[in-house]
Amino acid sequence: MTDKSELLRQLRIERDQRPAQTDASHRWWWIGGLLGLLIALAAGGFFWLHAALPAVRAAVAKPVASGSGADAGTSILDASGYVVARRQATVSAKITGKLEQLFIEEGVHVKEGDVIATLDNTNASAALLQAKAAVTQAESTLTQAKQAASDITPIYERDRKLAAAAVISTTALEQSKANYDQKQTDVAVAQGNLAVRRAALEIAKRDLDDTIVRAPFTGVVTTKNAQPGEIVSPLSAGGGFTRTGICTLVDMDSLEVEVDVSENFISRVQSGGPATLKLNAYPDWAIPAYVIAVVPTADRSKATVKVRVGFKSRDPRILPEMGARVSFLSRSQSGSNGSSAGAGGVTLPNDAVQGAAGAATGTVYVLHDDTVERREVKLGARSAEMQTVIAGVAPGERVAAGDLTKLSDGAHVKVVDR
């Protein structure tokens, strides 16, 4: 019994000890809760601050291929234009007439002097026959006048001798001399008339030859403007069926590209400088080119200067009036701020560069871990997706891309994949 009583006494809880244990437990709950709240606030603040950082993508500066040859370089300016022919003509007849035969179609190659068309030559042929007959008549008249002058010459010589011997009167001698002078005049008049008739014959021959239309130079027929049976006039279209031209002929060896360059950037373009161009029809075909000339006048309404660009090689795929985009090239250049842009500069996405399209300079933000460095750069050509940087960024450097308006020099950023 004693053992059981002792055991029960040990299991009994003293009432005066319970309040002390309860207070200690409450204090630990309050301390744990406060620590948990502080940890939660710290974690929330960290994630909130991290989420508030500007999100950017990392873009790597890629070097531009230098190419080969002395003219290789980076594009410093892009401009759009069209393929034009420096030598083209709307071929027409020299005279007004009805088109009788046409020997060309669009796309046909012709050589200089080839017959393109013929006009109705019935009137011209008749005029030529008339001119020939007039020449024959004038020649006969001249022969007759010369014969008459030849016949009267001995008579006049005889009368002179007789008058000197006082056999005939002075009046008779004067009459003989007048007849002699008249025959000489008739010869001169006949000679002049023959010259006029011969000139008229040449005109008639040329009028007949003008009914044949020939190619003025070697080229390709691009348009056919008239059909047999229509009236062709070199002066003006007098009626609904009168044509001023027969066809358009283009010398394909004279093709070049004309582009308008903003006068703000025309200093970048030099005559004889290298260039490459791409036709809108063949966007993946880079054609070697060069600057023929910078036309020394500006367009006041557009604030542009016309530049002529020539092809270094000819190709049948190049056609007049095709759209083209020209990239003017420069030599290798070194960057600023101690950075080299490489032999051909570097390319970056358009959203990695702050600067207006066509501007000479811009701004990029170079990434250093989670901070950025603001850097001024020199800009080159700009395409739909990429911007060429001539100086200021070295190949391989990482720059921020995206919304750059929230960035500043030394700012912290959050780099995301996309």
Q: Is the pLDDT higher at 25 or at 194?
A: 194
Q: How confident is the model at residue 336 (pLDDT cuts 50, 70, 90)?
A: very low
Q: Is the pLDDT higher at 150 or at 343?
A: 150
Asked whether 412 and 79 are in contact (CB, 8 A), the reply is no
The reported pLDDT for the residue numbered 70 is 39
Task: Say which residue the tokens 């759009």 belong to.
Answer: 80
Q: How confident is the model at residue 99 (pLDDT cuts 50, 70, 90)?
A: very high
Asked whether 341 and 397 are in contact (CB, 8 A), the reply is no
Pairing of strands 247-250, 88-91: antiparallel
- Residues of the chain with pLDDT > 90, as a percent, come to 36
What is the spatial distance between Cα 138 and Cα 283, in angstroms, rounded to a whole number?
71
pLDDT for 13 beyond 60:
no
The reported pLDDT for the residue numbered 240 is 58
Mean pLDDT score, 150-171: 84
pLDDT for 196 beyond 90:
yes
Ranked by mean pLDDT, the top range of 2-6, 142-146, 395-399 is 142-146
Q: How confident is the model at residue 324 (pLDDT cuts 50, 70, 90)?
A: very high
Q: Please, what are the domains in the chain? A: 56-73+332-416 (2.40.420.20), 77-85+252-330 (2.40.30.170), 88-118+214-250 (2.40.50.100), 122-209 (1.10.287.470)
pLDDT for 4 beyond 80:
no
Q: Which helix (H) or strand (E) holds 242?
A: strand 242-243
The reported pLDDT for the residue numbered 341 is 46
User: What does the chain come to in residues?
Assistant: 418
- What are 367's strand-pairing partners? 372
- Would you say the pTM of this structure is higher than 0.75? no
pLDDT tens-digit series, residues 53-98: 777 888 888 887 554 443 445 677 888 999 999 999 999 988 888 9
User: Which are the contacts of 355, defined by CB distance < 8 A and separation ≥ 6?
Assistant: 361, 362, 363, 379, 387
The reported pLDDT for the residue numbered 335 is 41
Q: How confident is the model at residue 22 (pLDDT cuts 50, 70, 90)?
A: low
- What are 347's strand-pairing partners? 62, 388
Least confident of 255-259, 310-314, 366-370: 366-370
pLDDT for 210 beyond 80:
yes
Q: How confident is the model at residue 175 (pLDDT cuts 50, 70, 90)?
A: confident
The reported pLDDT for the residue numbered 417 is 72
Burial of 321: CB neighbours in 10 Å, binned 0-12, 13-18, 19+: exposed
342: how many CB neighbours lie within 10 A of its CB? 24
Sheet holding 115-119, edge to edge: 212-214, 115-119, 97-102, 231-232, 242-243
Asked whether 317 and 277 are in contact (CB, 8 A), the reply is no
142: how many CB neighbours lie within 10 A of its CB? 20
- For 198-219, letters b (16+ CB in 10 Å) and e give eebbeebeebbebbebebebbb
The reported pLDDT for the residue numbered 278 is 92
The reported pLDDT for the residue numbered 224 is 92
pLDDT tens-digit series, residues 224-281: 988 998 888 887 655 556 788 899 999 999 999 999 998 888 888 888 889 999 999 9
Mean pLDDT score, 354-380: 81
Q: Is the pLDDT higher at 84 or at 357?
A: 84
The reported pLDDT for the residue numbered 361 is 80
pLDDT for 206 beyond 50:
yes
Ranked by mean pLDDT, the top range of 6-10, 149-153, 252-256 is 252-256
Asked whether 403 and 413 are in contact (CB, 8 A), the reply is no
* HSE of 319, CA atoms in CB hemisphere, 13 A: 9
